[in-house]
Amino acid sequence: MKFEVVATEFFIEQIENLDKKSKEQIKEKIKLISANPFRFKRIHSKTVHNVFRVRLNIQSNETRLIYSVLSPNIVLVCLLNRKNNYFDLEKYLEKIK
């Protein structure tokens, strides 16, 4: 099945402020996601099913790219800083419903 990659406004705002190297790293991960969206680790969410995360190291910070598979779309939700332990995840997932 062919999926279409869609980004939330919040995700777009987050990547606008990044340097070129980080943007390239994210672009490569998005290519892998579009090839097989179920490849990366699943995250349990109270509100949305099929939520996944991709590990990234952006500007020496452990970061996670959070996305959800809502057929026929792959929704890029946000970039989360790992040290915050996903506390804001549900808040960001509420926006895609």
Handedness of CA 17, 21, 27, 29 (dihedral sign): negative
13: left (phi over 0), alpha (psi -120 to 50) or beta: alpha
* Opening angle at CA 39, ends 75 and 7, nearest 5: 15
pLDDT tens column, 21-66? 999 999 999 999 999 999 999 998 888 889 999 999 998 889 999 9
Q: Please state the CATH superfamily assignment of the domain spanning residues 4-94 in this structure.
A: RelE-like (3.30.2310.20)
Beta strands 73-81 and 4-7 are parallel
Mean pLDDT of 5-24: 93
More confidently predicted of 24 and 88? 24
The Cα–Cα gap between 60 and 1 comes to 35
pLDDT tier at 97, thresholds 50, 70, 90: low
pLDDT tens column, 57-82? 998 889 999 999 998 999 999 999 88
The Cα–Cα gap between 30 and 79 comes to 13
pTM (2 d.p.): 0.91
Domain ranges across the chain: 4-94
